[in-house]
Amino acid sequence: MSESDGVEHRRLIIAGSGIAGLTAAIYAGRSNNDPLVLEGDEPGGQLTLTTEVDNYPGFTEGISGPDLVSNMREQARRFGAEVENGVIEAVDVENDPGVGHRFRVTVSGDVYTADAFIVASGASARTLGIPGEDELMGYGLSTCATCDGAFFRDEKIVVVGGGDAACEEAVFLTKFASTVYLVHRREEFRAEDYWIDRVMEGVEDGDIELKLNTEVTELHGSRENGIDNVTMVHHPEGHPTDKPDDPDTDEFEFDAGAVFSAIGHTPNTSYLEGLDVEMDNEGYLDTAGGDGGGQTATGVPGLFGAGDVVDHHYQQAITAGGMGCKAAMDADDYLEDLSRERAAAGGETEGEGEPAAAGSDD
Chain residues binding ligand FAD by CB under 6 A are 15-21, 38-43, 45-47, 49-50, 53, 55-56, 87-88, 120-123, 146, 165, 268, 271, 307-309, 315-318, 320
- Minimum CB separation from ligand FAD for residue 258, in Å? 16
Nearer residue to ligand FAD within complex by CB, 316 or 360: 316
SS3 for the chain is CEEECCEEEEEEEEECCCHHHHHHHHHHHHCCCCCEEECCCCCCHHHHHCCCECCCCCCCCCECHHHHHHHHHHHHHHCCCEEECCCEEEEEEEEECCCEEEEEEEECCEEEEEEEEEECCCEEECCCCCCCHHHHECCCEECCHHHHHHHHCCCEEEEECCCHHHHHHHHHHCCCCCEEEEEECCCCCCCCHHHHHHHHHHHHCCCEEEEECEEEEEEEEECCCEEEEEEEEECCCCCHHHCCCCCCCEEEEEECCEEEECCCEEECCHHHCCCCCCECCCCCECCCCCCCCCCCECCCCCEEECHHHCCCCCCCHHHHHHHHHHHHHHHHHHHHHHHHHHHHCCCCCCCCCCCCCCCCCC
Report the C-alpha dihedral over residues 209, 174, 267, 66, rounded to 10 degrees: -170
Are the CB atoms for 128 and 161 separated by under 8 Å? no
Nearer residue to ligand FAD within complex by CB, 15 or 335: 15
Catalytic, out of 148, 311, 330, 332: 148
Q: Is 148 a catalytic residue?
A: yes
Catalytic, out of 54, 110, 134, 147: 147
Query: Hey, what amino acid is at 157?
Result: I
- Minimum CB separation from ligand FAD for residue 89, in Å? 7
Neighbours of 233 (CB within 10 A): 20
- Cα-based distances in Å from 83 to 67, 137, 318: 16, 30, 21
Nearer residue to ligand FAD within complex by CB, 38 or 180: 38
Nearer residue to ligand FAD within complex by CB, 114 or 356: 114
- Minimum CB separation from ligand FAD for residue 246, in Å? 34
Q: Is 147 a catalytic residue?
A: yes
Q: Is 167 a catalytic residue?
A: no
Are the CB atoms for 153 and 176 separated by under 8 Å? yes
Nearer residue to ligand FAD within complex by CB, 232 or 323: 323
Catalytic, out of 34, 92, 144, 228: 144
- Minimum CB separation from ligand FAD for residue 122, in Å? 2
- Minimum CB separation from ligand FAD for residue 284, in Å? 11
Nearer residue to ligand FAD within complex by CB, 76 or 233: 76
- Minimum CB separation from ligand FAD for residue 224, in Å? 28
- Minimum CB separation from ligand FAD for residue 114, in Å? 13
Nearer residue to ligand FAD within complex by CB, 56 or 254: 56
Looking at the annotation, which residues are catalytic?
144, 147-148
